Amino acid sequence: MKNRICLLLLTLGFALQAIGQEPLHPKNNPADMDFMSSDTSEMSWFMVMDTTEMQIGVVETDIQKQKDRIYIITTVHMKQSPTKWVDSTVVSTRDFAPIYHSSFNQQRDMVLKFGEKVTGYYLDKQTNTTTEISEATDRPFFDSNFYPQLIRLLPLKDGYSNTITIFDYNPKSKKGVLTATIRNTEEATMDFKGALKRVWKVEATDDISDNAAVSTYYIDMSTKKILKQEVDFGGRKMIMRL
């Protein structure tokens, strides 16, 4: 009985510690900065239908690390569309604080500039309506487009979980300062181009999808590169492979 009580108290202590844990943001940032370097990568994007994978596009990511700023340019080439989706993110090299974000695709154009307020514009190409953006914020945050990069740089270990403060803008749904959640982390192995890799398998959700979309990242333990990402949403599944 005494041992069971001690175990219960220990478990409760860990639970209370997790509840009281401060969310991650640029001023509370334990990421290993050394693994953020200039790099170019390409991921194949698949939709999973039953057990069949159908490629729908390619995602190219170009990271340019400079002394004061890091530029991350993501270009999506869809197989059924001649146009490209281009997202650009600029963050501070020192702490990954957001500086600029833009997104251009067939549906909309958006530009965000981060300062005392978040300013910019949102052009809905379906309705040809432009919304001027001026959002006040009350706490530090990461750009929502950057946090998958942040996850791979965190001090991951079995059972690691945390919350991340992010900013996202969408006039049709949630916008402003939101939360992303790392729900669980576990050590795993996966086959990557014929070689067995030790990876961190990290499960995450965010307020952007009301935590309905679950992203699972497979992160190489030695290089901290994302080798694969799975997204499960409402019975649908997508996979991106390096």
Region for residue 128 given its phi and psi (left: phi exceeds 0; alpha: psi -120 to 50; beta: otherwise): left
- Long-range contacts from 198-207, C-beta under 8 angstroms, 24+ separation: 198/222, 199/227, 200/156, 202/151, 202/156, 202/160, 204/151, 204/180, 205/180, 205/181, 206/144, 206/147, 206/166, 206/178, 206/179, 206/180, 206/181, 207/168, 207/174, 207/178, 207/179, 207/180
Phi, psi (degrees; rounded to nearest 5) at 80: -95, 10
Distance CA 145, CA 99 (A): 12
Q: Could you identify the residue written with the tokens 């996966």?
A: 190
183: helix, coil or strand? strand
- Give the tens place of pLDDT for each residue, 204-223: 999 999 999 999 999 999 99
Q: Could you identify the residue written with the tokens 């795993």?
A: 188
pTM assigned to the model:
0.89
Pick the closest to residue 46 from 32, 36, 58, 29 (CA basis). Answer: 58
CB atoms within 10 A of CB 138: 7
Distance CA 218, CA 240 (A): 10
- Confidence class of residue 7 from pLDDT cuts 50, 70 and 90? very low
Question: Mean pLDDT lowest for which of 30-39, 40-49, 171-180?
Answer: 171-180
Across 28-48, average pLDDT:
96
**Does residue 62 carry a pLDDT above 80?**
yes
**Does residue 13 carry a pLDDT above 70?**
no
Residue ranges per structural domain of the chain: 23-241
CB atoms within 10 A of CB 149: 22
Question: Mean pLDDT lowest for which of 23-27, 117-121, 225-229, 231-235?
Answer: 231-235
Across 35-58, average pLDDT:
94
Residue 20's pLDDT is what? Answer: 54
Q: In angstroms, how far apart are the furthest CA atoms of the chain?
A: 69
Share of the chain above pLDDT 70, in %: 92
- Give the tens place of pLDDT for each residue, 111-149: 999 999 999 999 999 999 999 999 999 999 999 999 999
143: Cα within 13 Å, side-chain hemisphere = 27
